[in-house]
Structure 1
Amino acid sequence: MLKLFRYLKPFRMPIVFVLLLVFFQSLSDLYLPNLMSKIVDTGIVQGDVPYIWRVGLIMLGVALIGTVCMIGASYLSAKVATGYGKQLRSRVFNHVQHFSLQEFDEVGTASLITRTTNDITQVQQVLVMILRMMVMAPIMCIGGIIMALQKDAKLTLILLVIIPLLALAVFLVARKGIPLFKAMQKKLDKLNLVLRENLIGIRVIRSFNRVEDEKERFQAANKDLTDTAVRVNRIMASLMPIMMFAMNFATISIVFFGAKQINAGELQVGDMMAFIQYAMQIMFSLIMVSMMFVMIPRASASAARINEVLDMSPVIVDKAEVKATKGLRGLVEFDRVTFSYPGAEEPALSDITFTARPGETTAIIGGTGAGKSTLLNLIPRFYDISKGSIKVDGIDIRDMGQDQLRERIGLVPQKAVLFTGTIRDNIRYGKEDATEEEIVHAASIAQATDFITSMKDGFDSPIAQGGTNVSGGQKQRLSIARALIRRPEIYIFDDSFSALDFKTDANLRKALKSETTEATVIIVAQRVSTVMDADQIIVMDEGRIAAVGTHQQLLESSEVYREIVSSQLSEEEIA
């Protein structure tokens, strides 16, 4: 957790003020029992009323100073902790933005959400306690012992017996609690994962009538987390009874032995009352330490998880940006590319070689699991290849900055993703400064104008979270419009026409042809009708290129392609 505190540098001055305010608050608390003993021993015993008033007013002033210091310290510590939490969340979020898909696969989306929210909140809460108690607890403990020794050294022996026993109890409880706190955070990850899958897949769950099964799965994850939380809280809750027993035992012992000394004339009543208060302050400081021991183990577990994300170096790292060559803009070249997912036994792609040229449409077709989408994910460098090279405009994409590479690409993913906002906002996502004419034109090419204009607010119609208020085909067309408005050198369509009817599909491809005359178009599709007019068709089979050619060439030369075509088209259509 100390590693994360390096991000507290911008808050150095407020922290100094918090520590000073807590210091003066602690001094005022330590001084009050001494004044009270004077009132009792001098004012009350001797009947000196003016002395009682005079010392009482001093006590009131000291208490007021302590209260002001406490309020100021509470305000500043809360401000520092919330500012620190905000900065830490921003750092984690910005760091995660540089992750490749490999890091996302490794950590998990649900875990990243937990680490950015719950884990940082745990660290933020313990920071408030540390700022308040880091100075107060030692001052109250050491100062209380010094003041108690001044009142009576013999009675202090009671504290010397009780304090080590309390310290041992705190240590043993914390030792048992830390591993359970770590387990709790992992189980919270699991709960978030189950909940996230349930919310995202609610339509599938209900359509297969698996609501009760999902309830059971959630209850199992919830019970697992609850059982661990109950267990760790039982362990931590045992601290308070131990502390209260020690405090009460100390009070009884002080009164018992102090009464004997008062009878013997060795101790005054006021001094004994002050000693009891100092003993309580020492015990209270140990309670504060025990509370920190309750919070710190969980925060330490959370801090370790946050550091794990911040220390994770992205596999894909930018090199210095390079100038584009004077060759063809949008030229994509795969040269003997091999790619394996981390931990996989077999490569997902092997020895892939082809060229996609500007002004041409390259279509990729193949069976499920043939590696089509994986191949497309390599072009924007979502993953780095294992062997070979991929060049865009004659430059190896590993020598380009990721921004420099991706600004050349307009990607329409296999699963259309829309963001909350309006239709206009979603189309403009591809180009922030797009004019109204460009937005309307992109929507028209994407065959989206009809359904947009039929909506109540047209382009200002709201899109719900995840695009749940539009159909699958409408999502795809808006995603295509978002890519078109960018006017990139390379268009990548990853099975982006699957939700469209044949008429809309045909109209869209016809409109795209006139719009992308100078760009490279790469299409992955399941439908033969979508790819048969392409300038070249790449047939994928088990992660390898089975054949390359036009529709007619492949019908004659590729058995794999013929099987795909015959499964979708009749003999008359093939002829």
Structure 2
Amino acid sequence: MLKNVLKSVGEYKKETILSPVTVALEVLLEVLIPYFMAVLIDKGINTGDMTEIIKYGMLLVVLAMAALAFGALSGHYAAVASAGFAKNLRKRMFYKVQDFSFLNIDHFSTSSLVTRMTTDITNVQNAYQMIIRVAVRAPIMLIMAFFMAFKVNSELATIYLWVIPILGIALAFIMTHVHPIFVRVFKTYDKLNNVVQENVHGIRVVKSFVREDFEEQKFKKISSSIYKDFTKAEKMIAFNAPVMQICVYTCMILISWIGANLIVGGTMTAGELTSMFTYTMQILMSLMMLSMIFVMTIMSKASVERINEVLIEVPDIANPEKPVTEVANGSIDFDHVSFSYSQNPEKLCLKDIDLHIKSGETIGIIGGTGSAKSSLVQLIPRLYDITSGTLKVGGRDVRDYDLEVLRDAVSMVLQKNVLFSGTIKENLRWGNPNATEEELIHACQLAQADDFIQTFPDQYDTYIEQGGSNVSGGQKQRICIARALLKKPAILILDDSTSAVDTKTDAMIQKAFIDEIPDTTRLIIAQRISSVQNADRIVVMDNGRITDVGTHEELLASSKIYQEVYYSQVKGAADNE
């Protein structure tokens, strides 16, 4: 797990190595300072020898300045290495998510992926910076200070050995009890992000139904859960500080008492006792730093596990070894296809679909809510893989194609399609990055979008807010249709994508398709009969199965479901007149 995550160090290996090297040099100089301070006191101050005072005083200044320089370099290298590591890790995760199928994304949820790429990576970045600097500094300082303390006075130095077991027990207690809490906290963070994301995305609905209080209570409940868990964890972590302080002051008292007796007995000098006090602080501060590292490691361990879950996730949809790189035509063949979102044959969403569509045909798809119309068309560009049967496009199994080639040949326009932050031109060029301005305008004319775009002050340079919040539903749908047409696809799928436009505009769009892209296979999912009645064939779906296939006239004569939908709409239209 850790090895996989550490691959993201990448080009920052040099800084990762230089940080501990420079911090080791800093520690070496810091440990030498108390030793020469003791010599300065004993040989210079106590004897009144100004030559010794100046000599050792200058040496101490040089050592202090050098330690400062190495410390600054160490901090610089650690900051660069940790920030670069986080950048690469975030990039790896984002690129990995781009390869995920819908099934992989459903496995994590959108809010969880956002948390992992933000909060979790920040935790790991902080831990990495601490490890390559503090985790190197603390043990080296501890060992060197111990060595120098024993060199000065071995009898006093044994006091330190009593501290280590006490701190070890405290750290073991913290580690075993706090880690499960942080694992739970980060999962709750996922829920919190989901609530915020859902609320912001649906703020118009929240306000129209006056549900602000309900949303606030929902947020408060999850936020309180995080607060309680964090408080519990922090209380346990805080237990480390008093234990450390007790150890520090106990050592100071014992060294003062025993050291004073040794000085009176003539076996120790005042300078040596002064250096022992400094070594006491260095040793115990090193132990304190080690405890901080343990705490940070506990926090980051949960984050590393969550990040690694994304990195090791295997996309369930991938290119074959020798992919087909050309789609011959827009023919589609469903040969006894069944599909389950969980890939469980016992829980099928689509059941035994047998449908054969010629290239250039216009196929209407009608069915009630939950009849699996959208699930059917999402199998064509391999947004999901079929559970059983065979699905062919252009005479080849969709699993034989290069994914990019297949999806480039299939344009999908959804009822809730997405526009991205940027100008209308930039959004349109998702369909064709190299499209000329004339091609953009022509596509918008076919989609009946040019008329309203021309009314905007900036026309095609009009800025679209995130999600297309500054255009109406019908305008958004028409821009998305134009974007899909710019791909010049072999197959065009309209998944209830004209639901927000009036019947006259819908009819003009359908006519434009027939006139301008006669060779493109068109699949039109619609709730309105008028949107599909001129199709070559209409497919009627119910409960994941195809119940009837035929022309408008044939279905009107033989299909009960089609008749019910048609007459309910005709009656509804008559009632509205």
**TM-score when normalising by structure 2:** 0.97
Equivalent in the alignment of 1:98: 99
Is this contact kept in 2: 1:324–1:393, CA < 8 A?
no
Q: Does 2:474 correspond to 1:476?
A: no
Whole-angstrom distance in 1 between the partners of 2:572 and 2:367: 20
Is this contact kept in 2: 1:324–1:395, CA < 8 A?
no
Q: Does 2:33 correspond to 1:14?
A: no
Whole-angstrom distance in 2 between the partners of 1:220 and 1:477: 41
Equivalent in the alignment of 2:535: 534
Whole-angstrom distance in 2 between the partners of 1:571 and 1:433: 45
Q: Give secondary structure in 2 for the equivalent of 1:522.
A: strand
Q: Give secondary structure in 1 for the equivalent of 2:155.
A: coil
Whole-angstrom distance in 2 between the partners of 1:494 and 1:485: 17
Give the aligned residue type for 2:256: V
Whole-angstrom distance in 2 between the partners of 1:314 and 1:323: 20
Give the aligned residue type for 2:330: G
Give the aligned residue type for 2:97: V
Give the aligned residue type for 1:167: G
Whole-angstrom distance in 2 between the partners of 1:448 and 1:152: 87
Give the aligned residue type for 1:285: S
Whole-angstrom distance in 1 between the partners of 2:17 and 2:497: 58
Q: Give secondary structure in 2 for the equivalent of 1:142.
A: helix
Q: Give the count of matched residue pairs.
A: 571
CA displacement at 1:343 relative to structure 2: 7.0
Q: Give the alignment of 1:115-264 within 5 angstroms.
A: 115-264=116-265
Is this contact kept in 2: 1:330–1:357, CA < 8 A?
yes
CA displacement at 1:11 relative to structure 2: 2.1
For each residue in 1:363-408, what CA deviation from the matched residue of structure 2 results, as whole angstroms up to 9, or x when unmatched?
Answer: 1101110010000111111111011111111000011111111111
Give the aligned residue type for 1:362: I
Is this contact kept in 1: 2:365–2:373, CA < 8 A?
yes
With 171-180 and 70-79 compared, the bigger mean Cα shift is at 171-180
CA displacement at 1:323 relative to structure 2: 5.1
For each residue in 1:87-115, what CA deviation from the matched residue of structure 2 results, as whole angstroms up to 9, or x when unmatched?
Answer: 11110000111111001111100000000
For each residue in 1:217-243, what CA deviation from the matched residue of structure 2 results, as whole angstroms up to 9, or x when unmatched?
Answer: 000010101111111111112212221
Q: Give the alignment of 1:392-541 within 5 angstroms.
A: 392-541=393-542
For each residue in 1:142-195, what CA deviation from the matched residue of structure 2 results, as whole angstroms up to 9, or x when unmatched?
Answer: 111111111111112211111221122122112211111111111111110111
Identity, % of aligned positions: 41
Give the aligned residue type for 1:545: I
TM-align CA RMSD:
1.4
CA displacement at 1:571 relative to structure 2: 11
Q: Does 2:365 correspond to 1:371?
A: no
Gaps of at least 5 residues in structure 2 are none
Is this contact kept in 2: 1:380–1:409, CA < 8 A?
yes
CA displacement at 1:294 relative to structure 2: 1.4
Equivalent in the alignment of 1:391: 392
Is this contact kept in 1: 2:343–2:387, CA < 8 A?
no
Is this contact kept in 2: 1:321–1:404, CA < 8 A?
no
Equivalent in the alignment of 1:294: 295
Is this contact kept in 2: 1:39–1:55, CA < 8 A?
yes
Q: Give secondary structure in 1 for the equivalent of 2:389.
A: strand
User: Deviation above 6 Å: which 4+ runs of structure 1?
Assistant: none
For each residue in 1:539-569, what CA deviation from the matched residue of structure 2 results, as whole angstroms up to 9, or x when unmatched?
Answer: 0011000000000011111111111111111
For each residue in 1:2-30, what CA deviation from the matched residue of structure 2 results, as whole angstroms up to 9, or x when unmatched?
Answer: 22123224222222221210110010010
Whole-angstrom distance in 1 between the partners of 2:249 and 2:226: 35
CA displacement at 1:503 relative to structure 2: 1.4
Whole-angstrom distance in 2 between the partners of 1:45 and 1:172: 47
Equivalent in the alignment of 1:111: 112
Is this contact kept in 2: 1:362–1:522, CA < 8 A?
yes
Is this contact kept in 2: 1:334–1:352, CA < 8 A?
yes
**TM-score when normalising by structure 1:** 0.97
Whole-angstrom distance in 1 between the partners of 2:570 and 2:423: 39
Whole-angstrom distance in 1 between the partners of 2:243 and 2:309: 36
Equivalent in the alignment of 2:336: 336
Give the aligned residue type for 2:541: M
Whole-angstrom distance in 2 between the partners of 1:78 and 1:258: 41
CA displacement at 1:341 relative to structure 2: 1.4
Is this contact kept in 1: 2:325–2:405, CA < 8 A?
no
Give the aligned residue type for 1:416: N
Whole-angstrom distance in 2 between the partners of 1:346 and 1:228: 38
Specify whether residues 317 and 323 from structure 1 end up closer, same or farther in structure 2 by C-alpha distance, changes over 3 A only.
closer
